[in-house]
Structure 1
Amino acid sequence: MHSSKKNWIWTVTLIVTVICCASVLILHVKNWVTDDATSLGLRSGFYNVEVPLSELDSVVFVNRIPPMQRLHGFSALEKEKGVFREFKDSLTNKKVHVFVDNINNNKIKLVYKDSAYVYFNLKDSVETVQLFQKLSSYTGTLSEPN
């Protein structure tokens, strides 16, 4: 009888752990895009970036993201998310944010503040193209996929 009273602590700990893990998984399932008149916000779980549209330099469609070193993040099935560093910029330690929901579809490459990169796409390729067209209107240039 005494041992069953101690088991409730482990049961509660297990339930809280499962709930926390499930909520983190749900937050990383897709990219959450907030688009207003002054900025574009990209969020996926713990990773987020706010891109001011006034500082947007270029918007380009790319087939593949370049080889990079993962600082932290994850790859699972068709998803690639996290903070990376390009091999050619290993000395400057510039961080590249990647929010890719479908690695097989084209990605949008945003360059802002002259050298900050963000690669992202959405699960639905039509939504990605629509967002690309909207963002490219801020820069005045339109670049088609490779």
Structure 2
Amino acid sequence: MTRPRRHWLLNLLIAVSLILCLMAFVAHSRTWKRVREDRVQLLTGFYYTEIPYNEIDSLSWKEQLPQLERDHGFSFWANEKGRFKDSLFPERPVYIFVDDLRHPKLKISYRDSLILFLNFADSVETHMMYELLLRKTEGVDDTDE
């Protein structure tokens, strides 16, 4: 008795689905940054934000994330990404682009009310971002980068 063969279209659909899932995982697995003269652009999966240097209100280091309610986003392993709500200020979104929960996070307050928690998988890269943002907000323009 012979087994019926799977149709080639079903095989193609399975392969395309696996490739799309792999691409989505890679896109969300880290935070991609692009440093411009007047702003920094951050992309992680579906989440994108631009932070103009002249609109940064404060920079600080945090060891842990505060208790927040997830509006939409996801977590996997030591990553945390998405938009969250603070119970004290539910109308103000809090963005979290954290590649490693075990490392310190950079808290960026910008545009008077927006908050972003950020770190990269490499803690040296996070410290370099902090130094860059600190220089740019203090008005010292460094063109060597």
**Superposition TM-score tier, normalisation by shorter sequence:** 0.7 to 0.9
Over residues 100-134 of structure 1, what are the superposed CA-to-partner deviations in whole Å (9 max), with x where a residue is unaligned? 01101111111111011111101111111111011
CA apart distance, 1:41: 0.8
CA apart distance, 1:11: 1.1
Deviation beyond 4 Å, 4+ runs, structure 1: none
| Matched residue SS, 1:89 | coil
| Matched residue SS, 1:33 | strand
Q: Indicate the residue corresponding to 1:20 in structure 2.
A: 20
Q: Which has the higher contact order (CA 8 A, sep 6+)?
A: 1
- The reply to whether residue 99 of structure 1 matches residue 104 of structure 2 is no
For 1:126, the aligned partner's letter is V
**Map 1:36-115 → 2, pairs under 5 A:** 36-90=36-90, 93-115=91-113
Q: Structure 2, unaligned stretches of length 5 or more? A: 139-145
Q: Give the distance between the partners of 2:59 and 2:37, measured in 1 at CA.
A: 17
CA apart distance, 1:28: 1.1
CA apart distance, 1:66: 1.0
Q: Indicate the residue corresponding to 2:131 in structure 1.
A: 133
Q: Indicate the residue corresponding to 1:9 in structure 2.
A: 9
% identity of equivalent residues: 31
Q: How many residues align?
A: 136
**Which has the larger share of helix?**
1
CA apart distance, 1:27: 0.7
Please report the TM-score for the alignment, with normalisation by the length of structure 2: 0.88
Over residues 76-96 of structure 1, what are the superposed CA-to-partner deviations in whole Å (9 max), with x where a residue is unaligned? 111101111111112xx2211
Q: Indicate the residue corresponding to 1:121 in structure 2.
A: 119
| Matched residue SS, 2:7 | helix
Conserved 8 A contact 1:56-1:138: no
| Matched residue SS, 1:103 | coil
Q: Structure 1, unaligned stretches of length 5 or more? A: 141-146
